[in-house]
Structure 1
């Protein structure tokens, strides 16, 4: 195996560990990592594939935490709008959208930290709004986990419910956009070589993340979620301005 692929899978493993601990998946870290090795269209394709394996691993490890009401009310809008976003990915300038989304997420995360004692009610309207936005951006620029993470974080969900419900929603989102990306020609036959490694990385990373998460309090978990959103948003903004 080429050295660059060894590095890629190592970084993917770290992204999966951090994605599990932070609660909303690895794509927010995996997308910029994959961008170092592949062009943008291939990044979308390989991210969707990797995230399917990642979500299946989380569902297996955290299945007792699945909340059906959250999954349905947030998940169905996300699955519908990820398809719209994926179709539009061929026609929209992603860089400016990434900047706008990153600035928005940065501000919202700071707000949630300052007002950490405030809890947004898990109303049908709030869940649907979070699903629409996270699904649309997941299809359009490859990652909507941060939006869903902020939505679930604002509800102050217990960490196992957060991770399990988010993973099940994400599985539907990623399955939908994978089909569209394939039809768009974002996936080549060379991707088949990466599949066994991506499966192994997703299982190992999720298992490691769960072990670490068991030693973390709910308050620390909440701060990690918001901290990761702030950090990754800041990196996106910095890279754009540079």
Structure 2
């Protein structure tokens, strides 16, 4: 019996390969299109879809591959609009700081959760790290949505600080995309430069983390469903393609609102333990 069938039955989903493809590919398509403007969210939405059918360590690696290849595709679509100065000032500190955050995560794994509760028959835990990142994202979202603060910009000189915070908390919690967008949104970039710069930085970080994920996954001898992975990648490409077409029809303020709303949603998910 193919391994994916065993995994599905083990998880009690009672679903066949058609359902697996339908769920994963639909999420990849819509998440890629929806999050094209915000610069984050594909991994957040796709990981649970993969985790329905595969062990979590496999789901993380599969999601990372789709995220990286989709980033390369978006890079081909809009990479020419990236602000090189912002990439260097923000991206390089982010990559370095992500290693520090990942190291600290290993040291904090034994911290007890702040709150435990049951949700749909599963135990939900609110960890100190997730609560802290959720509070930070909520603050950024409110700054963007409140009329008195939404016109504030950080300026280029603050990009290295934003890169350090984004990379550090990304390594610590995996939510570097949301923090990256929160800072770049205030850097005075055009909508095209905002999206493209975020794509370049995301590709750099994805490349570094795949260097850790892929060898570890291959070492386990895991029998991955490469046809499903390919279908998910193509679905994400289609979503990104249509997202790029609609980018020309949306204003920068529209991008700001989309980012702020998604930031707030992710913040609530982290603070509640749902993510």
Q: What's 1:56 paired with?
A: 72
Match of 2:167 among 132, 135, 141: 135
Mapped contact 2:133–2:270 kept (Cα < 8 A): no
CA distance in 1, matches of 2:37, 2:106: 32
RMSD of equivalent CA atoms: 2.6
Distance 1:229 1:39, change over 3 A: farther
Distance 1:29 1:148, change over 3 A: same
Q: What's 2:237 paired with?
A: 203
- Taking structure 2 as the reference length, the TM-score comes to 0.77
Match of 2:209 among 170, 177, 194: 177
Mapped contact 2:66–2:232 kept (Cα < 8 A): yes
Distance 1:32 1:116, change over 3 A: farther
Q: What's 1:105 paired with?
A: 137
Equivalences for residues 79-98 of structure 1 within 5 A: 79-86=95-102, 92-93=108-109, 96=127, 97-98=129-130
Residue deviations 1:96-134 (CA, integer Å, cap 9, x gap): 1223211221122102322111111121xx212222222
Equivalences for residues 139-218 of structure 1 within 5 A: 139-185=171-217, 188-190=222-224, 192-218=226-252
Gaps of 5+ in 1: none
Structure (1 or 2) with the greater helix fraction = 1
Deviates more, 1:212-221 or 1:129-138: 129-138
- Taking structure 1 as the reference length, the TM-score comes to 0.86
Mapped contact 1:58–1:163 kept (Cα < 8 A): no
Secondary structure of the structure 2 residue equivalent to 1:20: coil
Number of equivalences: 239
